[in-house]
Amino acid sequence: MTQDDYGQPSLTWVNVVDAWAEIQPLSGRELEIAQAMNAEVTHQVTIRYREGITAAMRIVYQSRYFNITSPPLDVDMRHKEMQLMCSEGLNDG
């Protein structure tokens, strides 16, 4: 949150990190399973493991926005890669 010219609170997004990612739209059984946990999930994004990624963040790829819908999953608990369940579209900005 920042303040605008009139002193009012304003939500501002900042770039935290640039990273390589694999973005996969979910379909069929994968989509059904993911939506059983969170009805909004439409995509799975896989990135290299990184501390500090939270569900309050979003992913920007070209002109597309992906909202992280749940805490990141550390694949095999090895701190090598993480999976982010996302919904596509703008959220709070």
- Do residues 67 and 45 touch, judged by C-beta distance below 8 A? no
With cut-offs at 50, 70 and 90, classify the pLDDT of residue 10: confident
- Cα gap 81→91, rounded to integer Å: 25
> What pLDDT was estimated at residue 4?
83
- In this prediction, residues 12-28 reach a mean pLDDT of 88
Backbone angles phi, psi at 73, to 5 degrees: -105, 120
| pLDDT tens digits, one per residue of 35-75 | 666 667 889 999 999 999 999 899 999 999 999 988 999 99
pTM for the predicted model, two decimal places: 0.78
Topology adopted by domain 18-88: Thrombin, subunit H (2.40.10)
